[in-house]
Amino acid sequence: MKTKQFLTYILIAFLFVQSAFGANEKNDPEKDKVLISVLNYMLTRGHFVEKEINDDFSVMVFDNFINRLDPSKRYFTQKDIKHFSKYKYQIDNQIKKSDLSFYHLVYDTFLDKIKSAKKYYGEILKQPFNFNKKEIIDVNFDNVSFAENENELVDYWRKQLKLQTLSRIQEMQELQKEKGKKDASYKTKDFRELEKEARQDVLKNMNELYLRIEELEHEDWFSTFLNSLVEGFDPHTAYMAPNIKERFDQDMSGKLEGIGARLQKKGIHTHVIELVSGGPAWKQGELEPGDIILKVAQGDKEPLDIVGMRLDDAIKFIKGKKETEVRLTVKKKIDGSIKIISIIRDVVELEETFVKSTIVEKNGKKYGLIDLPRFYIDFDDASRRDSAKDMELEIERLKKEGVEGLLIDLRNNGGGSLKTAIEIAGLFIEEGPVVQVKYRGEKPVVRSDKDKKVQWEGSLVILVNELSASASEIFAAAMQDYNRAVIMGGNQTFGKGTVQQVLPINQFFPNYKKELGFLKMTIQKFYRINGGSTQIEGVYSDIAMPTRYSYMKFGERDMEGALVWDKVPMARYTQTNTYSNFSDVVNNSKMRIAINPNFQLVNEYAKWLKKEQDNTTFSLNYKEYVKDITAKENYTKRFQSVFDYNSNLKFESPNYELALLAKNNEVKEKRNRWHKNLSKDMYVAEAVNVLSQLQLKTPIELVKN
């Protein structure tokens, strides 16, 4: 059924369900029970996959929740698991009855275990480790059974802490060597001193970790349980607490309202890590990275002490609507002085999430490279920038620069708005279908570009990798199916061919006053216009280049519970067949890659990384550990030439951006770093080679075609 029909149906149904709980405040159900009840109803009736809540589902939730709470086998013993197992095949029935007995049993036990954990690691780290003892640890904890008893549990702790200490000692020794090379008078510490210092560092890190754990509230842990449940439908369905939804919206739109500072909790204090270039704090000029925020006041109201406060809670007080004042009491890093800084909040645009472009010259011709990190959009304000508007503007600017081809970089682009992906595809074709989407039990619907305007008619290369996902795959697949672009990169993209919608849970329970959060639920699947799904398979590159991910478990195909690949009928479309020498250019590139020593090295490196990924055991004997680490470091030196590669291509900002760079040194420095990285990028270099060799068909050839 269509989403609107589903929403209406479920809303009416829950108005009746509410009467069973009682509609007034006095008889309101507990929030947790309401959430379980509503989520169960939403998932079983609205998710793309019809899944029965049965004993198999119960076992899956049982395993998921325990593994989420204790992934490193640090807390629960086999006795605990046996105690929990009385509910192993009953969770499905409990869900249907909004019975949370399993959750409370595991959660209450877990809280007790957290209290014990501080005693365990504190006692273990008081004494030096015996690094002469020959023993190993397997850090793939799926291979490790839960401890038989408390003694074995403490030994699990000992091995994990010993590995952390050993790793820290080795890092400190390497640092000493580097300092000794630079300064002959530098006095090195002996092993005993380093071991003690390393244990103190590990203890400090553990204390900070458990300080953050202790700040977590029941809502956080219950969210963990809810996600153990909803992910049983597929890996991309998730429960989102209200604060998580805020971050999701920020990620999608590339903007937030606040002061424009990145914050981090260190111990009991909130530290400023970075200022967003162009943001209110950056413009005001007094707040600096390294400063500690002690108090927060809204305008002229009394300041609130945030020392010891959870970071999420502190951020709520610091953020706020545009044009409102926040007064921060700050301890300055530079001299330790206390200062009150007034900042007027504003909309902060996160530049690194937006489209940017550069120009490169090869064989006397200019080519444009556009970096598209995400398909962003602001669903609440259509007047604001989105990736389709920005892409159209960037292409127009590059056309004025006289570029003869475009390279669009979608590497690491995890997707975003389907709407903007369709609109961006429309910039390169006259009109026609771009993607097919299908609801559960219905025929696929073709989504098309209906604008006959073509923003770019020239040569087009799209660069992808194994992290290009979702909307990235839709755009790349459409350009491949139309034969409009050459797709280059890893062998295949991520393979996320599902569509999620974020649904506010409160709208299904309108009389309930507490905030229930949101459900991000898979409601559709993507299909290419050629009929095949992008699910699991992703998009196979026309020109595959070895990457470090080539042999590793990576992508949707390696996710537990991922939906399967399937196909639907092909949509009606006509290939553009833009190029007269497409096959020749592709074959020539493949030949260059095959004999290129750098790509050969990357392929060898990828095989080694796969081997290392599969090898999850470490020696806890000092000599053997150092020997293994040294052997790995020596082996990786053979790949150094890959990292030292330089294409000698020169990248320059387009003319329109030069005025901004002259005024903003921070943006200028970011562009300089980007350009330097591009010049050392062998994938970009080969993509520019391909772009420079593509020949467009003449009007006569296109007519014949």
- Active centre residues (catalytic): 470, 481, 496
**Helices marked H in 98-185:** 101-124, 150-182
Q: Is the dihedral of CA 199, 202, 208, 212 positive or negative?
A: negative
* Lookup result for tokens 């005025």: 659
Question: What DSSP state is assigned to residue 378?
Answer: -
Q: What are the distances in angstroms from CA 349 to CA 176, 323, 354, 374?
A: 42, 15, 9, 14
Q: Parallel, antiparallel, or unpaired: how do β-strands 486-489 and 459-464 relate?
A: parallel
Q: What are the distances in angstroms from CA 17 to CA 239, 251, 657?
A: 21, 35, 58
Question: What DSSP state is assigned to residue 26?
Answer: G
User: In angstroms, rounded to a whole number, what is the distance separating the alpha carbons of residues 227 and 236?
Assistant: 10
Q: Report the 3 state secondary structure along 313-332.
A: HHHHHHCCCCCCEEEEEEEC
Q: Parallel, antiparallel, or unpaired: how do β-strands 304-305 and 651-652 relate?
A: unpaired
Q: Which two tokens stand for residue 137?
A: 């640890």
User: In angstroms, rounded to a whole number, what is the distance separating the alpha carbons of residues 578 and 122?
Assistant: 67
User: In angstroms, rounded to a whole number, what is the distance separating the alpha carbons of residues 61 and 40?
Assistant: 13
Q: Report the 3 state secondary structure along 182-196.
A: HCCCCCCCCHHHHHH
**Secondary structure (3-state) at 266:** strand
User: In angstroms, rounded to a whole number, what is the distance separating the alpha carbons of residues 198 and 16?
Assistant: 61
Burial class (CB in 10 A: 0-12, 13-18, 19+), 246: middle
For residues 464 and 488, the answer to whether their CB atoms sit within 8 Å is: yes
Residue 104 CB: number of other CB atoms within 10 A?
12
User: In angstroms, rounded to a whole number, what is the distance separating the alpha carbons of residues 5 and 236?
Assistant: 22
Q: Parallel, antiparallel, or unpaired: how do β-strands 543-544 and 486-489 relate?
A: parallel
Q: Which two tokens stand for residue 423?
A: 């609109």
For residues 524 and 444, the answer to whether their CB atoms sit within 8 Å is: no
Q: Parallel, antiparallel, or unpaired: how do β-strands 292-298 and 325-331 relate?
A: antiparallel
**Secondary structure (3-state) at 422:** helix
Amino acid identity of residue 361, one-letter, is E
Q: Which residues have CB under 8 Å from 5's CB, separation 6+?
A: none
Q: Which of 450, 496, 447, 440 is nearest to 471 (CA)?
A: 496
